[in-house]
Amino acid sequence: MSIKDRFQPLLNERRQQHLYRSRPLVTSAQTVRMQINGLQVINFSSNDYLGLANHPKIKQSLSQALQTDEISYGSGAAHLVTGHHLQHHIAEDELADWLGCERALLFSTGYMANLAVQQVLMQPGDTILADKLNHASLIDGALQSEATLKRYPHLDMVALERRLQQASSQGGQVMIVTDGVFSMDGDLAPLQDIQRLAQTYQAWLLVDDAHGFGCLGEHGKGCFEYFGLEPDQNTILVGTLGKAFGCSGAFVAGSAILIESLIQFARPYIYTTAMPQLNALAIREALKLVRFAEEGGASRETLKQHIKQFRTGAKAIGLTLWNSPTSIQPILLGSSETALMWSEKLKQKGFWVSAIRPPTVPAGQARLRVTLSASHNKAQIQDLLKALEQTQLELTG
């Protein structure tokens, strides 16, 4: 059988089910106003929540660094060979200091970080208890570990405790795994309850706060700060740097023994080239903006106001929203075909809003995923609401 014989029918099936995916071609910088597939649009689909991806201070720091002989673009090797450069080391120290953790460890992607943590920490006879709507990288990390994976209904703390009781009675270590902010729904894990259950049943806790870091909490430290909590020694924090930080890569933060164990045993860390030094420098500059600059707090406040404006306006025109207090504001539409039609209509009106379809979301829950940035202005959000109302009238009457 040829590759074509095996996969052409599957590709055809995806097209027929309105599930085929194409890569939009971007021919401009990552900003609010962009050119995508040749269209000039207002972008409501990026994860650049604080507008740092094209920030002049980050660009200036990179430009200045390239004028010296102290930094190159490529790292040259894996971290454990000769790829661990000074910018990586300082970035890790600064991230750990910001979060109040003993240490942090950089990864090239959040996917690699989530694979690494569960593969290293969980052994045969252990149990991973995962929220049913966890990100794909968390699911894959659990499946590739040697532990037993049990999933509990989304945000259902009664079901989680029942599974904790069952797993504890069977022996072995238990780890609770959850997103902090769920990437397709925008809702929050109830970390107060989850942390209490983890401590009660002596379970470890892994929180992927990819969409919370930078945005949530008074100082942008994410979901733990948002809920007024502190991670303990058995908490593992994972954060990505390509969202609110506007860079790329990810980190794991926690105890010194956790980080040293990942360095020694995590295959996704050991057997890959370190991220470019310039990216580590960009991360440091982004962290300054998130952590110290007045504009960091101002951006988070602006984002809150944008979320309030959008939710109020969307409800007023009868759109179905999730209970999301975050930058992620999904509009439930149902079928994949309907979601694609809405997305296309909005593109024609000058707005880029992605249609999210199965298997990324459950069948029957296709949606538009509106994401808001501090770089948007009130007029742009109001214009999007008008375009949504017009689209609703055009497609539903």
- Catalytic residue status for 150: no
Is residue 397 pLDDT above 70, yes or no? Answer: no
Q: Look up residue 164 and give its two tokens.
A: 């904790």
pLDDT for position 36: 93
Report pLDDT for 69: 83
Position 66 confidence tier, pLDDT thresholds 50, 70, 90: confident
Q: 369 with 278, same domain?
A: no
My answer on whether 314 and 283 are in the same domain is no
Active site residue 22: no
Question: In terms of domains, do 179 and 267 share one?
Answer: yes
To the nearest 10°, report the CA torsion of 290, 224, 104, 297. 10
Residues 245 and 356 in one domain: no
Mean pLDDT of 166-186: 95
66 and 121 share a domain? Answer: yes
Whether the pLDDT of residue 330 is over 90: the answer is: yes
Same-domain status, 216 and 280: yes
Residue 351 sits in a domain of what CATH number? 3.90.1150.10
Of 241, 263, 291, which one is at a domain's C-terminal end?
A: 291
pLDDT on residue 243: 97
Same domain, 302 and 261: no
Stretch 212-225: mean pLDDT: 96
Residue type, 7: F
Whether pLDDT at 173 is above 90: yes
Confidence category of residue 293, pLDDT binned at 50, 70, 90: low
Question: Per-residue confidence at 281, pLDDT binned at 50, 70, 90?
Answer: very high
pLDDT of residue 232: 96
Looking at the fold, whether 192 and 108 belong to one and the same domain comes out as yes
Q: Active-site residue among 211, 345, 349, 376?
A: 211
Q: Based on the domain organization, do 30 and 61 belong to the same domain?
A: no
Q: Which of 221, 243, 306, 349 is catalytic?
A: 243
Q: Does some domain include residue 2?
A: no
The whole-number pLDDT of residue 176 equals 98
Last residue of a domain, one of 244, 272, 291: 291
| pLDDT for residue 67 | 87
Q: Nearest CA to 313 among 393, 391, 365, 384?
A: 384
User: What gap in Å lies between CA 253 and CA 172, rounded to an integer?
Assistant: 24
Least confident of 58-67, 170-179, 186-195: 58-67
State which H helix or E strand residue 177 sits in.
strand 174-179
Give, for 105, the enclosing helix (H) or strand (E): strand 103-107
In a domain, 69, yes or no: yes
CA–CA separation, 163 and 171 (whole Å):
13
User: pLDDT (tens digit, 9 = 90+) per residue, 26-43?
Assistant: 999 999 999 999 999 999
Query: Which CATH number covers residue 109?
Result: 3.40.640.10
Residue 82 lies in a domain: yes
pLDDT attached to residue 280: 97
108-149 pLDDT, tens digit each: 999 999 999 999 999 999 999 999 999 999 999 999 999 999
Find the domain containing 65 and state its range: 56-291
Q: Judge whether 288 counts as a catalytic residue.
A: no
DSSP string, 312-368: HHHHHTT--B-S--SSEEEEEEESHHHHHHHHHHHHHTTEE-EEE-TTSS-TT-EEE
- CB-side neighbour CA atoms (13 Å) of 79: 23
Domain closes at, from 291, 325, 347: 291
Tens-digit pLDDT profile for residues 344-354: 999 999 999 99
Q: Is the pLDDT of residue 294 over 70?
A: no
- pLDDT (tens digit, 9 = 90+) per residue, 92-102? 999 999 999 99
Enter the tokens of residue 306: 């944008």
| Tens of pLDDT, residues 248-275 | 999 999 999 999 999 999 999 999 999 9
Over residues 179-191, the mean pLDDT reads 97
Are the C-beta atoms of residues 183 and 211 closer than 8 Å to each other?
Answer: yes
Mean pLDDT for the chain overall: 95
